[in-house]
Amino acid sequence: MAPIIHLNYILHQAARFAIVSHLIAAGGKAQFPDVKRALGMKSASALTTHTVILKNAGYLKVRKSFEGRMTRTDLCLTAKGQRAFEKHKEMLDGISKPPAPVEVVA
């Protein structure tokens, strides 16, 4: 069993885990409103807060551009973010697996 202390505290928060999961499923990149809608988040500010934390950790990049007069915000998963997510998921899998049976020799 993997020690709990090795869990990634940034990705262990449910919303951030869901954001990165969504980006992986979307091929590493998605628009901000699509992520908000897919995760059922009511508040753009809540998504922004989690996005900033992931960005500061180097797990994603935020790219802003304009389409006409509208701002477009793309969230792009970085290689570091992908590796961190995979490692965190492995740790969760290790914790959730039942321990191997112990053979008792009489």
pLDDT recorded at residue 101: 74
Structural domain boundaries enclosing 48: 4-96
In a domain, 43, yes or no: yes
Closest CA to 4 of 98, 91, 100: 91
Q: Say how many C-beta atoms besides its own lie within 10 A of residue 82's C-beta.
A: 16
Lowest mean pLDDT among 16-20, 50-54, 80-84, 102-106: 102-106
Contact status, residue 1 vs residue 97, Cβ threshold 8 Å: yes
At 38-95, the pLDDT tens digits run 999 998 999 999 999 999 999 999 999 998 888 999 999 999 999 999 999 988 888 8
pLDDT recorded at residue 5: 66
Closest CA to 61 of 80, 43, 78, 84: 78
State pTM to two decimals.
0.84
CATH number of the domain that residue 90 is part of? 1.10.10.10
pLDDT recorded at residue 57: 97
Buried b (16+ CB within 10 A) or exposed e, 69-81: eeeebbbebbeeb
